[in-house]
Every structure is written in C-alpha cells, then in structure tokens.
Amino acid sequence: MESISIGLLGLGTVGSGVVKIIENHQDKLMHQVGCSVKVKKILVKDLDKGRAVHVDQAMLTTDPEDIISDPEIDVVIEVIGGVNETKQYIKKALINRKHVVTANKDLMAVHGAELLTIASENGCDLFYDASVGGGIPILRSLADGLASDRITKMMGIVNGTTNFILTKMSKQGSAYEEVLKEAQELGYAESDPTADVEGLDAARKMAILSTLGFSMKIDLDDVKVKGITGITEEDLQYGKQLGYVMKLIGIADREGEKVEVSVQPTLLAESHPLASVNDEYNAVYVHGEAVGETMFYGPGAGSLPTATAVVSDLVAVMKNMRLGVNGTSAATPQYEKKLKAANESYSKYFLRLHVRDEVGVFANITSIFSEHHVSFEKILQLPLKDKDLAEIVLVTHQASLQDYEDILVKLRDLHAVKTIESSYRVEGSANV
C-alpha cells in the first residue's frame, strides 16, 4: 500500500486542524504506518468561503457522494456535526466499506451502538476518541490501556464551556449572565449555549464514557441531568466558606451489577483532584479495582487538540489496515443494563434554606432529617436583611437519594420554610 486516501466531511475548526496535522506530520505518519497519507476530497457547504487553512480548490465539494461513494477513498473523517443527516453519511460510508473516524459525540451517544454494529458487519473500523474530552485520549485509554481492569467509577469535567463559566464566577464573583456573554465573545460558548449550560453536552459524553467503561449500553435517557443556569453567587460563596468548589460534574458509578450516571453541579472538596481544573480545561478521574485512581487532564476542545485525537484514530485505522484486522475492535456491551434505584444511590448534599426567624424552627427541620436517619456534617445559620427571615446552609453526611428527596418534599410543606434556595450534590470532605 503506497498511500492512504482520506475523505474529510467538514472544514471548520476541527477539520482545518486535521488538514494541518496531516500536512505537517507526514514524516511521523509515514514512520507510524509505512505509507503516505493524503486528503483527497473535502465536503464543505460553501466553496467560496475563506478558510483557516489553505487547500486546493479542486479538493472541495458540496456533494457528500463525491466522498462516500468514491472507491479510491479509504477512510472518511467526519467533523461536520449534526445527527440525522450525518448518520446517513456514515452509515453509507461503512456499507461502502470505508473506515470512519468521527468527533461527533451527539451522534455516537444516540446511534453509536447501531453504527458500530454496521461497521463490524462490513469489516470496517469506526473510531470516535475525539468525541469525548477533545485532546484527552480517554476513550482509547478505557478501551485499550485499562481493558484488563474493572472500572468502578468515572467522574469528570467534560464540558469546557461550563467549566470556564464557573471558574470565572468563582474567582471574580461575576454573575452568570455576564460570564456567559464573555464566553460567547471568546468563542467558548455558542450563540445558543443551551446544550452546554443545561448539561446536555456533558450528558452525551457521560453516556459514551459509561457505555465503554462499564461495557453496558447506557442511553442518553439513563443520564440524570441538571445544568448550571440556577447557580448563584451566594451558592459559590457559601461553598467556598465551607471549603468547596463548584463544578459541573459527570459521574458514572458502579456497585456490583448496578450503575448510576448523572451530570449535575457538584460541590467538590478543595482537596479533590478535579477542584483545581479551571477555565476551559477538561479532566476525567477513573477508578479501577486493580489500577486504583487515575486522572486524564487536558484541553477539552479547540482546533488542534481535537484534531490530534482525530488523527490518532486515523493512525489506528491505518495500522489495522496494514495488519488486515479492521472491524474487529468494536466490542459489544458485555453486561445487561441495570440502573440503581433512588434508594441505592448515596451522596452528601448541600442545602440552602430561607426560613422564618422563629423559636423552634431549626428543631422542626432537624427532626425531619432525623426521621430519615440523615445527619449533618456542617451547618451555618445566618440572619437575613429581612428581619423575619434567617438563612440556613447545611451539608449532610451520606444519604440515599430517596431519603433526601423525601426530606425536600417535607421541607417544602413545612410552614417555617419559606423557600429552598438551592440544593447540590457534594463530593469529598472539606477541611474547613
């Protein structure tokens, strides 16, 4: 094999990075796989648009068939995003026996199992390491480096936009709307930031991570999701006072045969390894029964970091081509999906209440927690400007989600409680 021919779907931020790396790293690619690599055709929406990278105009096309159905193209790299139309492109490419590399987390979270099956049936590779964590090789590490271990917990910051926003809010005391606007101006957040700030982007990544890490088909609907839009400056300040840092955390936890997967704002103890991951950076903390604790850290997005993961997948495809083992790496989930019930899911919780400033109110509140055998790790009680109200901030010891939800229902019904201002999961023990 003298050369491997690539068809590229998309020439935006990541696509431009892929072209740059393939052009600039020819010597390394030749050394890795023993032949040259060339991009033959690139799908774009507008032939005349200005590009971040110079390419021969003759390489551009607006017709996906010029790539998907070209018998000379060996590998299709998909970096255009989207789900339904893109799924059809990839499906047809695999049926045409072309290997596929994608950075599309939305697609893989929803249709990954189906597409991996089609790839296997046609003797093709479908690699998607760039779909989670940008330049962090987390999926490859789970599939290869930790393949012999039993993963019990994966926990991470997998969305750079929300981490940037929360970092700015925590360090500068800025309001959410103000920081979101700054993130949009810097290009970290989209003009419609819903998928990021409501936790949907992170949930898709956690579905992919948990499916691979637990070898269990976890669907997007199995992930409990809560975004960051309700977080206030007061929440962050109280958290800091108690020794915690707020992050949007994806958690996938396995005990025995049962798992739980969630994405939610979480107060991390300042000593927790993820607490110091700031700005647009991502990090995933993985616990295996044999290896113990490992952590993967790096830029979670951007042209070259994500393109690096794409080209690493391309190298893996090409090595398989040289060995004649394409289509053998996609392992179907080994275990039947079993999700934890609310009474099997345990955590600590942060709760902030506004209550009537009357005798016996705190006793009434503590009696509700006592009924459910939930005790307190930390308590703050402060007067509010409104003289008839007081603020209570507390952190519980470990409690089941079922008990905690029952407590919240009873607190809402209690005359002495005016409002439940906020409630968050807590990880780790703060030293304050």
For 314-354, what is each residue's pLDDT tens digit? 999 999 998 888 888 776 788 999 999 999 999 999 999 99
22-36 average pLDDT score: 89
Beta strand 60-61 with 292-299: parallel, antiparallel or unpaired?
A: unpaired
Beta strand 389-396 with 376-383: parallel, antiparallel or unpaired?
A: antiparallel
Q: What is the 3-state secondary structure (H, E, C) of 125-167?
A: CEECHHHCCCCCCHHHHHHHHCCCCCEEEEEEECCHHHHHHHH
- Residue 386's φ and ψ, nearest 5 degrees, are -70, 110
- pLDDT tens-digit series, residues 348-405: 999 999 999 888 899 999 999 999 999 999 999 888 887 789 999 999 999 999 999 9
Q: Which CATH class is domain 343-427?
A: alpha beta
pLDDT of residue 432: 63
Task: Assess whether pLDDT exceeds 90 at residue 52.
Answer: no
Better-predicted residue by pLDDT, 238 or 148: 238
Length of the chain as a residue count: 432
Task: Assess whether pLDDT exceeds 70 at residue 289.
Answer: yes
Extents of the domains making up the chain: 3-134+303-323, 138-299, 343-427
Tokens 């409990």, residue located: 224
- pLDDT tens-digit series, residues 193-246: 999 999 999 999 999 999 999 999 999 999 999 999 999 999 999 999 999 999
Beta strand 223-225 with 258-269: parallel, antiparallel or unpaired?
A: parallel
Residues annotated catalytic, as ranges: 205
Instruction: In whole angstroms, give the CA distance from residue 357 to residue 201.
Output: 42
Task: Assess whether pLDDT exceeds 80 at residue 130.
Answer: yes
Beta strands per DSSP E along 289-362: 292-299, 346-356
* Residue whose C-alpha is closest to residue 242's, from 274, 271, 264: 271
Range of weakest confidence among 270-274, 293-297, 383-387: 383-387
Beta bridge partners of 420: 353
- Residue 107's φ and ψ, nearest 5 degrees, are -65, -45
Rounded mean pLDDT of the chain?
93
Tokens 């599939």, residue located: 143
Task: Assess whether pLDDT exceeds 70 at residue 1.
Answer: no
296 Cα distance to chain centroid: 13
- pLDDT tens-digit series, residues 155-170: 999 999 999 999 999 9
- pLDDT tens-digit series, residues 56-67: 999 999 999 999
Q: Which CATH superfamily is domain 138-299 in?
A: Dihydrodipicolinate Reductase; domain 2 (3.30.360.10)
Q: Out of 3.40.50.720, 1.20.1740.10, 2.40.50.140, 3.40.190.170, select the CATH number for domain 3-134+303-323.
A: 3.40.50.720
pLDDT of residue 243: 95
pLDDT of residue 299: 85
